[in-house]
């Protein structure tokens, strides 16, 4: 007996994830990182940060970042995306830039995306590190 397993078009899904990642960065510029991540995060998001324990869940993330407003901008640009053959999980990685009034930081990030029943992508896991300024 031969079975026909249809695999989703992973290239199309990779484009969707890249576009979603860019849309989240655009929203972060307009409304702040907290609103952007809460909009795109899965309820059980895990967020890794330099020098601290992981933040687990949207509510914990919101609690941690709610008082960290101020004149600063976080932007990022995905470099690559890849999606599992099943089409249910994928990741992006790229470069970020965090600008404050007197200091700018640079780094790399990774985001694992989870496909929702509605066909949208949500952040399941996110983290990154700082790097020297680009050359």
CATH code of the domain in which 106 resides: 3.10.450.50
What is the three-class DSSP state of 34?
Answer: helix
Contacts of 124 (CB under 8 A, 6+ apart): 42, 44, 45, 46, 89, 112, 113, 114
Q: 3 lies in a domain?
A: no
pLDDT at 70 over 80: no
Q: 14 lies in a domain?
A: yes
Mean of pLDDT over the chain:
92
Question: Could you give the number of structural domains in the chain?
Answer: 1
* Report field, pTM of the whole predicted structure over 0.85: yes
**Bridge-based pairing state of the strands 104-115 and 89-99:** antiparallel
The domain in which residue 46 lies consists of 10-131
What is the three-class DSSP state of 11?
Answer: helix
How confident is the model over 3-48, as pLDDT tens digits?
456 778 999 999 999 999 999 999 999 998 889 999 999 999 999 9
Q: 5 lies in a domain?
A: no
Average pLDDT over residues 93-120: 95
Question: What is the reported pLDDT for 1?
Answer: 45
Q: 114 lies in a domain?
A: yes
């Amino acid at each position: 007996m031969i079975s026909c397993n249809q695999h989703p078009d992973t290239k199309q899904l990779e484009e969707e994830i890249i576009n979603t990642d860019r849309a989240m960065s655009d929203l972060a510029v307009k409304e702040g990182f907290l609103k952007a991540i809460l909009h795109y995060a899965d309820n059980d998001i895990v967020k890794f940060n330099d020098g601290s324990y992981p933040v687990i869940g949207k509510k914990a993330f919101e609690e941690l970042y709610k008082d960290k407003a101020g004149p600063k901008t976080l932007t990022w640009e995905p470099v690559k995306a890849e999606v599992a053959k099943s089409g249910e999980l994928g990741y992006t990685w790229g470069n970020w830039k965090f600008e404050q009034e007197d200091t700018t930081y640079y780094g790399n990030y990774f985001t694992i995306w989870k496909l929702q029943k509605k066909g949208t992508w949500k952040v399941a896991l996110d983290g990154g590190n700082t790097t020297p300024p680009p050359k």
